Amino acid sequence: MSEEKSLNFIEEIVEEDLKNGKYPFIITRFPPEPNGYLHLGHASSICLNFGLTLKYGGYTNLRFDDTNPVTEETEYVESIKEDVKWLGFEWKNELYASDYFPVLYQYAIQLIKKQLAYVDDSTSEEIAALKGTPTEPGKNSSYRERSVEENLHLFERMKNGEFPDGSKTLRAKIDMAHPNMLMRDPVLYRIKHAHHHRTGDEWCIYPMYDFAHGQSDSIEKVTHSLCTLEFVPHRELYDWLIEQLEIFPSKQYEFARRNLTYTITSKRKLLQLVNEKYVDGWDDPRMTTISGMRRRGYTPESIRDFCDRIGVAKRENLVDMSLLEYCVREHLNKIALRRMAVLDPLKLTITNYPAGQVEEVYSENNPEAENGGGTRAIPFSGSLWIEREDFMEVPAKKWFRLAPGAMVRLKSAYIIKCEDFIKDENGIVTEIKCSYIPESKSGNDTSGIHVKGTIHWISAAHAAQAEVRLYDRLFKVENPADEGDFTSYINTDSLHIISNAYIEPSLKTATAGEKFQFIRKGYFTLDKNSTNNKPVFNRTVTLRDTWAKESKK
RNA sequence: UGGCCUAUAGUAUAAUGGUAGUACGACAGAUUUUGGUUCUGUUUGUCUUGGUUCGAAUCCAGGUAGGCCAACCA
């Protein structure tokens, strides 16, 4: 069991830093901006950051990067905390970049005094115009050479609320001809007379990401500050600010964000789906948000396993959804209780079963568990519901379910033979008539008959009703974020509601979030929309279906 | 006419100058009272051209392809 798993490039850096004594232990942080719900991409980052300190010793902070009051809300803070906890991780400290506003303000004053920052009266258009382009150098702002005293004075007045939004900024004084656009006198502070979710109206100037993130890392003595690839060009500025401020040298390392086929992992786009009502809220089970996946029936274990399997690297990627499905099936197969549910009912009558007779049959709760996870009693009678798709009037090749004259076993009960079937005037089959073999009862079958097919069923008189929600992929194309308007790729058929499925009686006492395998149909969980009269089940994922493949040939 | 990042089966990820491996997928078979699970097998790969070396996926150089950078977003 001691096989060595190879290290990803970040683990290699950490091991090296630990080995040569650069740090006695490591500190990481997970730094979400509270402007949306967490999604699968964040899960990857969470597993990385927390996983690292769990593995190597140290701790991880949860730090909200709340420097832009206009997009941030307490609701998001709460959902983020819930999701991180649910995924199974514990942060050392709950922190906010906004806690550092006073320190950050002092840092800015330090820069001004070192003549490394200045107050600029340019409009954002003017700043953009002087910025140059990636291939042409920018030009100095005419406010660039203000004196230290004047800058200090103006910056204080900015803080005091003497200027309207957008009228002034504090900029770092670096190099307008720098090949890295981010080094061309980046804006450090902007004026926003906006209410902040934590500091209220205390501040009307707010630091930009670049003047908050690295400094927050440094204040917390974060050793390894992990972020995604689009921040690579920011690293130079990150290091420059830390160096000029002469503060703890946190180091930034970048990894590639994960993309998943047939979905999007962009907070902005997910917000759009919510706002434009393509889905029913952030926790819609079709969303790859953590809360959506939780509601859909995914387990934290399966998500962590997925993140572990896809690993961490620096190249562009588009991970196959089938891997995620594999992970959740693997876990659910071990833990989900087996139950029977008929989603598309067809009446079946056993003609030689004593009229009015009811008996109990026993079925194991989980064949993967020890002793089958125990058994439960299921009422059986001569009048049943079966799945419509389990009968074929003209059987296909290799078909081994019900067909005229064919035999199948009713799961955990008897072997039956199809004797006849009834159609209505439209040619729709309305009822199957079968005979059963009394000696074939599960557990003490003395019939000597072997059948290939086993189907699930529900006794009509004992059936409970449920709503079942079947989900399909939200997008029709593998990479909806690739080009064009992603909303044009939305699969308009991603939710199929079955309002009157039949479920076995034991399912009536299911509790929210409980995991089930509806035999032969897939994994399901009880939705929060359930009522006492009508449970609602979400399909997490189907079972692998080799027959579906076979029948397409 | 810039800077930076990246390139290994269909997908994701190893191999850290010395036998190109693993997982998912696909395909075939065995087992099965779930066409599930489990088990076995098969399949497919180092972007390109040079160079260094006894030996290169790995080091070097030039190409090519993809990505990121011109918010008072993060």
**Tens-digit pLDDT profile for residues A176-232:** 999 999 999 999 999 999 999 999 999 999 999 999 999 999 999 999 999 999 999
- What order of strands is seen across the sheet that includes strand A169-172? A117-120, A169-172, A187-191, A205-207
pLDDT at A2 over 60: no
Q: Is the CB of A33 under 7 A from strand B?
A: yes
pLDDT of residue A1: 33
Residue A356 and residue A296 in one domain: no
**In whole angstroms, what is the distance from residue A382 CA to residue A359 CA?**
10
- How many Å apart are A187 CA and B71 C1'? 10
ipTM (interface predicted TM):
0.97
User: Which position among A131, A198, A257, A388 bears the catalytic label?
Assistant: A257
pLDDT at A169 over 60: yes
* Chain B bases closer than 7 angstroms to a protein Cβ: 1-8, 10-16, 23-27, 33-38, 66-74
CA dihedral A116, A119, A120, A121 (to 10 degrees): -170
Q: Which residues contact A154 (CB under 8 A, 6 or more apart)?
A: A119, A146, A168
A454-455 and A407-410 as β-strands: parallel, antiparallel, unpaired? parallel
Model pLDDT for residues A263-303, shown as the tens digit of each residue? 999 999 999 999 999 999 999 999 999 999 999 999 999 99
CA dihedral A275, A276, A282, A285 (to 10 degrees): 170
Model pLDDT for residues A218-259, shown as the tens digit of each residue? 999 999 999 999 999 999 999 999 999 999 999 999 999 999
**Share above pLDDT 70 across residues of chain A, in percent, rounded to a whole number:** 99
Residue A473 and residue A331 in one domain: yes
pLDDT of residue A483: 84
State yes or no: is A425 an active-site residue.
no
Residue A303 and residue A427 in one domain: no
Residue A492 and residue A519 in one domain: yes
**pTM above 0.90?**
yes
pLDDT at A304 over 70: yes
The domain of A514 spans 267-337+465-551
Q: Is the CB of A391 under 7 A from strand B?
A: no
Q: What CATH number does residue A374 fall under? A: 2.40.240.10
Q: Is the CB of A362 under 7 A from strand B?
A: no
**In whole angstroms, what is the distance from residue A507 CA to residue A482 CA?**
43
**In whole angstroms, what is the distance from residue A523 CA to residue A538 CA?**
8
pLDDT of residue A111: 98
| Listed residue (A325, A332, A38, A70) closest to A194, CA to CA | A70
Q: Which residues contact A521 (CB under 8 A, 6 or more apart)?
A: A341, A343, A387, A456, A539, A542, A543
Model pLDDT for residues A343-401, shown as the tens digit of each residue? 999 999 999 999 999 999 999 999 999 888 999 999 999 999 999 999 999 999 999 99
Residue A346 and residue A320 in one domain: no
- How many Å apart are A443 CA and B22 C1'? 42
User: Where does residue A240 fall: left (phi above 0), alpha (psi -120 to 50 degrees), or beta otherwise?
Assistant: alpha
Angle formed by the axes of helices A40-56 and A9-19, to 10°? 30
Residue A214 and residue A163 in one domain: yes
Q: How many domains does chain A have?
A: 3
- How many Å apart are A320 CA and B10 C1'? 10
Q: Is the CB of A135 under 7 A from strand B?
A: yes
Q: Which residues of A214-242 are buried (b: 16+ CB within 10 A; e: fewer)?
A: bbbbbbbebbbbbbeeebeebbbbbebbb
- How many Å apart are A325 CA and B39 C1'? 21
For chain A, what is the mean pLDDT? 96
pLDDT of residue A553: 72
Cα dihedral sign for A208, A213, A214, A219? Answer: positive
